[in-house]
A and B are shown apart, each in its own frame.
Chain A
Amino acid sequence: MTRQEYMRYLKPKALLALIAGYLVWSLCFVLLYSLLSVGCEAGWHQSRLLGINLLSWLLVGTWLLHVGAGVWLVREAGRREPELSSQSGHFIQRVTLLLHVTALAAMVWIGLPILGLPPCA
C-alpha cells in the first residue's frame, strides 16, 4: 500500500472537515481581537471613511468575510454525499453539518457588538 493510498484510507480529511466551521470561528475571533488591539494602538479608528471610522470598517469586513466562509461551509456540508458509504460516514456528515451551522450562528453572534460599539472606547 502506498502512502497516498494509506492516507486516503485513513480519511483524515473527514476529521478536518468536522471542525472546519469552528476553525473559521476561532480564526474570526482571534482576528477580530487582534485587529482591534493593533488598530487602536495604530490609531486606525481616527481615520474616517463614509462617516465611519476605518477600524470599524476593517472589523466589519473581517467579520463578514468569515461569516461568508461559514455560509459556504454549511452549503457544502448540506450538499455533499458522504465519502464513506457507511453508517459512520453518515454520522460524521451529520455532526459536521450540525457543527457548521452552530459555528455560523456563533460567528454572527460574536460579531454583532461591532455594529453598536465604538472600537477603542
Chain B
Amino acid sequence: MTFVSQQPATPVGRHKLLHRDFRTPGGIGFLTSVNHSTVGLRFIVTGLAFFVIGGILAMLIRAQLATSGNTFMEHETYNQVFTMHGTVMMFLFAIPVLEGLMLFLLPKMLGGRDMAFPALSTYGYFCYLFGGIILIAALLLGVAPRGGWFMYTPLTSSQYTPGINSDVWLLGVTFVEVSALSAGVEIIVTILRVRGAGMSLKRMPLFGWYSLVTAFMIIVGFPPLILGSILLELERAFGWPFFDVARGGDPLLWQHLFWLFGHPEVYIIFLPAAGIVSTLVPTFARRPIIGHAWIVASVIATGFISFGLWVHHMFTVGIPHLALAFFSAASMLVAIPTGIQFFAWIATLMAGRPFVRLPMYYLFGFLVIFVIGGLTGVMIALVPFNWQVHDTHFIVAHMHYVLVGGMAFPLMAGLYYWMPMATGRMPLERLGVIAFWLIFVGFNMTFLVMHLTGLLGMPRRVYTYEGGLGWDTLNLISSMGGFVMSVGFALVLFDLFLHGRLGLRAPRNPWGASTLEWTLPKPPPSYNFASLPEVRDSEPLHDDPDLPRKLAAGEGLLSEPRPSARETFAVEVVSGRPVHIINLPGPSWWPFMAAVCTGIFFLSFLFKIYPLAAVAVVLTIGAFLGWAYQYGLREDAPLLSAGGGYSLLPHFAASAPPGWWGMLFAIVADATLYASLLFGYLFLWTVAPGWPPPFYIEWQPLLALLAILGLVAGLLCSHAATGMTESGRIGLAKVWLLLSTAAGLLAAGALLALPWIALPSLTSHAYAAVTALILGYAGLHALVATIMSAFLFWRAQKLFLSAQRSQEPRIVRLWWGYVAGVGFLAIAAVYVFPGAFG
C-alpha cells in the first residue's frame, strides 16, 4: 500500500486552499452550495420568515377574538387563518429552524468540517422552501387548508372540503416532511460517524445527544403522518376509501396516524431546545453540568416514552378504559425524565457561579413557562379532567405554554448565544432585555388567562362568541397580551438585523464556553477547522485554552488540504477513533434539480395533472441517479496521511461508510411507514365498522409464486454480486447484478399486477384499497431495487467497483434485504391474515 503524503502549507495558504473547496459559490451558483453553515443559516432565516407569517396570523386570530360578536373576519377566512397559523408554526417554523440550528452547529461542535451528506441537506432545504411556498401561496389566494392543523377527517375529506384546500396541506406538508426526513438521516449519521478524532460519546456535547435522539424521533415519528397524508390524498384524488365509513373506512384511523406523529412531534421540537438549555446552563453557571449521564439517559427515555402517548389526544373518541389507562400512565411517566433534566439544570446553576447575560433571561423564561406547561400537561393526562377541558381554550393555553415555553424561549436564548457564530458580532443586550420582558409579560397575559377562558367553557376553533358568557374580559386581556408579545418578537427580529451593524465585534469565546465551536474565528470560515482537533476531554476549550491558536496554525489533524478532496474524519461510533477519511462533496446542481423535479411532482398532483406527475417521478429518479453518479473513484485509493500518526483510506474504500449507515436509517424511516400501513390494515380489520369485507382477494398462486421467486432471487443475486465484488471478480459481479435486475423486475411486476387482477374495484371498500396499497408498496420497492441493481451494473461497467471499492454493492444488498422482507410480509398480510382472521 502506498502512502500519499500531504503538501506543506502556511496558515494563509491552507485557508485559501480550504476556502476554495468549501466556499459557497457566488451568483446563480449559490443554488449549488452544499456547505452546512450556508444551508443551516438558510433553514434558520427561512424559518424565521415563516415565523413572522405565523405571527401575523396569530395577531389576526387575537384581533378577531378580542371582543364578542366580532365581524372582523368571517368564518371561512378565520378557519383558514387558524389552520395556517398552526401549520406554519409547527411545520414551517419550529422544526426547520431547529433542524437549521443542528445543521449549522453540529459539525462545529463535533469537530468536523461538514455534515455526512451535505448535498442531502441542500435537497432538503429546497424541498422545505418549495413546500412552504405552496402553502403560503394558497393562503394568499384564499384556498388555504381550513380543517385545523390536524386535518381531521371527514371534515377534510372531499365531501366536506371539495376544493384544493385540503390537498394543499396534504401535499405541501408532505413535501416539507421530505426535508425533515433527509435532515433526520443526515443528523444521525453525522453524530454517530462524522466527528473529530477522540470525540467519544462520553466527550460528545450534550447538544449532540439531544440532536441524535431528536433525529431518531424524526425518522420514526414523521412516516405515520406521511402515510396518513398519502391515504387521505388517495381517497380525495382517486376515491380509495380509507376514511369513508360507508365503504369500510374509519376517520379514527386518521387520528391515530396523525397523533402517532403529532405527540412525538412535541418532543421533536422540545428536545433540541432542551439541548440548547443543557449547553447554555453550564456556560453561564461556569461549571460542568451536574448529572451528565442522567441527562443522557433522560433524553433517550423521553424519546421512547413520547411514542406511547399519542392516544391521549383521543381520550374522548370511545376507547376502552384500560387502553386509556395505558396511555394515561405513559403520559404521566414522560414528566419524570423531563423533571430530571430540570433538576440537573437547577442544580448546576445552584452549584456554579452564574452570571446573567441576555441568553440567561430567556433561560429563566423557559424554566418558568415550561414548568407551568408541564404541570397542566400532567393535569390533562388524567382522563376525567381531559374529558372536561377537551377542545376548550385550556388546551390552547397548555399547548402554547409547552411549545412557546419549551421551544421559542430556548431558541431565542440559543439565537442570542450563537449569534456571533453567524455574524461575528455580539447581540445588543439592552434592546434584547426589553424584548425579553415584552415577550415574557405579553405571553403570560395572553395564555395564563386563557386557562380560565377554557375552564369557563370557551371552545377552540370558533370564529366568534356571544357576549355575557364571562369570556369577554379574558379574551380582551389575551388579545392585548398577544400584541405586547408581538412587539417583543418584532424587537428580537429588529435586533437580529441591527446588531450586524451596531453590535460589538465578538471575541473568539465571548461567553467563556468549553465546546469546540468557540475555538473558531467569528464568523467561522467555510471549512470550520483549518486543522481538525484531537479531543481529549469533554470540555476541550477549558482543557486546552490555546486550542484555537493551535488549530489555526495547522497543529491539528488533516492540516494539509489535498486539492478538491474536502476531507474530514469518519470515526468509530463509541470511542471516536478515526477509521477513514471522508471526501465531502462540493457544490452541485443535482440537489436543486432533484428538488425542482420533486416539486413538479407535488404541484402536478395538486392540480390533478397525473401524467405530468408520472413524468416528474421519472425526472426525479433521473436527478437522483445523476447526483449519485458523480461520486466514487475509478481506481483503488492509497492510504492517506492525516497527521498525528494516522494513515487512513478514503471512505470510498471503507466497509461500512456513511452511505451504508445513511441507507440503514433511511430504511428505518421507510419501515416505520410500512409498519404504520400494516397497523392501519389491522386497525380497520378490528375496529372499523363495515368489516369483515364483502369479498376477499382472489388466490393467484402463479403471481404470488413469481413475486416470491423474484424477491428471493433478487436478494440472493445481490448477495452474490457483493461477494464477487469483494473478491475482485467484477465480471461475475456484473452478471449477478444483471440477474438481480431481472429478478427485481419480475417481483415488481408480479406484486403490482396482483391488485389489478385479484381485487375488484379499489373504490368499493377500504379492504380493497388497503390491500392494493400493501402490495403496491412492496412492488414499488422492488422496482427501486431493480433500478439500483441496474445502476450498479452501469457503475461496474464504468470501473467504479473493485475489491477495495465494494461499498456500493453492500448498500444495494442492504436495500434488497429490506425489499425482500417487505414483499414477504405483504404477501403474508394479504393472503395469510384473511385466512387466519377472516
* Chain A residues with a Cβ under 8 A of chain B: 1, 3, 6-7, 9-12, 14-15, 18-19, 22, 25-26, 29, 32-34, 36-38, 40-41, 84, 86-89, 91-92, 94-95, 98-99, 102-103, 106, 109-110, 112-114, 117-121
Contacts and interface: CB of A to CB of B under 8 A. Distances in A.
B333 A109 contact: yes
A3 to B, nearest CB: 5
Nearest to B198: A88
A55 to B, nearest CB: 9
B10 interface: no
Contacts, number: 124
Contact of B301 (A41, A87, A103): A103
Contact of B304 (A26, A87, A118): A26
B323 A110 contact: no
B308 interface: yes
A22 B300 contact: yes
B248 to A, nearest CB: 15
Majority DSSP secondary structure for residues of A touching B: helix
A119 B329 CA distance: 16
B389 interface: no
Contacts of A113: 322, 325-326, 329
A7 B656 contact: yes
A41 B682 CA distance: 11
Interface in B303-356: 304-305, 307-308, 320-323, 325-326, 329-330, 333, 336-337
A110 B576 CA distance: 37
B322 A37 contact: no
A84 B576 CA distance: 12
Nearest to B328: A113
Contacts of B308: 26, 29, 110
Interface in B292-308: 293-294, 296-297, 300-301, 304-305, 307-308
A36 B322 contact: yes
Interface stretch (B56-64, B567-575, B712-720): B567-575
Contact of A110 (B330, B683, B687): B330
A101 B834 CA distance: 40
Given A1-B655, A3-B656, 6 more contacts: A18-B300, A22-B301, A33-B323, A88-B574, A99-B301, A110-B330
B537 to A, nearest CB: 10
B573 A10 contact: yes
A36 B320 contact: yes
Interface residues of B, number: 39
A87 B687 contact: no
B200 interface: yes
B202 interface: yes
12 contacts: A19-B304, A25-B304, A36-B320, A37-B686, A84-B574, A88-B574, A88-B576, A94-B293, A102-B297, A106-B330, A117-B321, A118-B322
A10 to B, nearest CB: 5
B333 A95 contact: no
Contacts of A40: 320
Contact of B322 (A34, A98, A99, A117): A117
A33 B687 contact: no
Contact of A6 (B574, B656, B686): B656
A40 B297 CA distance: 36
B293 A91 contact: yes
B201 interface: yes
Max chain B CB contacts within 10 Å: which of A7, A9, A10, A87? A10
B686 A38 contact: yes
B579 interface: yes
Contacts of B323: 33, 36-37
A3 B323 CA distance: 46
Contact of A99 (B300, B321, B654): B300
A53 B296 CA distance: 42
A100 B579 CA distance: 30
Nearest to B330: A110
A87 B200 contact: yes
B682 A34 contact: yes
A11 B686 CA distance: 42
A15 B203 CA distance: 16
B304 A3 contact: no
Nearest to B579: A9
B202 A91 contact: yes
Nearest to B303: A22
A22 B574 contact: no
B647 to A, nearest CB: 13
Contacts of B686: 37-38, 41
In the A-B complex, list the 5 residue pairs whose CB atoms are closest, starting with the nearest: A113-B325, A91-B202, A88-B200, A22-B304, A98-B297
A103 to B, nearest CB: 7
Contacts of A11: 572-575
A68 B201 CA distance: 30
Contact of A95 (B296, B307, B321): B296
A22 B300 CA distance: 9
Contacts of A88: 200-203, 574-576
A102 B340 CA distance: 12
Contact of B572 (A3, A10, A19, A36): A10
A54 B654 CA distance: 54
Nearest to A37: B686
Considering residues B200, B575, B656, B682, which has the most beta carbons from chain A within 10 angstroms of its beta carbon? Answer: B575
Contacts of B683: 37
Contacts of A36: 320, 322-323, 326
Nearest to A118: B322
Contacts of B575: 11, 84, 86, 88
Contacts of B201: 88, 91-92
A67 B296 CA distance: 23
B297 A37 contact: no
Which of A38, A84, A91 has the most chain B CB atoms inside 10 A of its CB?
A91
A90 to B, nearest CB: 8
A78 B329 CA distance: 27
Nearest to B320: A120
Contacts of B307: 26
A22 B299 CA distance: 12
Given A95-B296, A113-B326, A119-B320, A41 B200 contact: no
A14 B576 CA distance: 14
A21 to B, nearest CB: 9
Nearest to B340: A102
Contact of B293 (A7, A32, A33, A95): A95
B557 to A, nearest CB: 19
Interface in B631-662: 654-656
Contacts of A91: 200-202, 293
